């Protein structure tokens, strides 16, 4: 199994962006590239070469599902798992996000102390 080291995080809320980066770098020991928009993520995607992508669902301009569709044109999302982060977690919504190619959904608000292990669990399931 490849190593999980680099995480691309896409989120338009600066405070959530900051907490997530801190949680994943300090607690998880990951290298995190924070992007404030879907376009920003697309521009930096291939240069950063993430092992995992965390994607906010609700963003102005290009939302999470639209961003995921663009990402899937650039890289193999079977090799680079994507998880959505959202407060919208009705079963039908989660099923829809997974139908788009996401591996899982991390519920907001999340526990910063648990986030790295949640990501690692999704990563391990994707590589079983």
How does DSSP assign 76-94, residue by residue?
-TTTS-EEEEES---HHHH
What is residue 22's predicted lDDT score, i.e. its pLDDT? Answer: 97
User: Does 93 reside within a domain?
Assistant: yes
User: Does 77 reside within a domain?
Assistant: yes
Mind listing the pLDDT tens digit for each residue in 14-63? 999 999 999 999 999 999 999 999 999 999 999 999 999 999 999 999 99
- CA-nearest of 29, 32, 38, 123 to 83 is 123
Angle at 86 between CA 7 and CA 68, to 5 degrees: 55
| Contact status, residue 28 vs residue 5, Cβ threshold 8 Å | no
Residue 26: CATH number of its domain: 3.40.50.2300
Neighbours of 6 (CB within 10 A): 16
What is residue 2's predicted lDDT score, i.e. its pLDDT? Answer: 80
User: Does 67 reside within a domain?
Assistant: yes
**pTM check: above 0.85:** yes
Q: How many domains does the chain have?
A: 1
Domain span at residue 37 reads 6-126
User: Does 101 reside within a domain?
Assistant: yes
């Amino acid at each position: 199994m490849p190593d999980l080291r680099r995480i691309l995080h896409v989120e338009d809320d600066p405070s959530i962006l900051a907490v997530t980066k801190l949680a994943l770098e300090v607690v998880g020991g990951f290298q995190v590239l924070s992007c404030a928009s879907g376009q920003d993520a697309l521009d930096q995607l291939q240069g950063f070469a993430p092992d995992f992508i965390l994607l906010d669902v609700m963003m102005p301009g290009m939302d999470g599902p639209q961003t995921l569709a663009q990402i899937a044109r650039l890289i193999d999302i079977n090799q680079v798992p994507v998880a959505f982060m959202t407060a919208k977690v009705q079963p039908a919504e989660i099923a829809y996000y997974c139908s788009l190619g996401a591996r899982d959904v991390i519920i907001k608000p999340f526990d910063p102390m648990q986030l790295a292990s949640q990501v690692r669990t999704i990563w391990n399931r994707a590589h079983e």
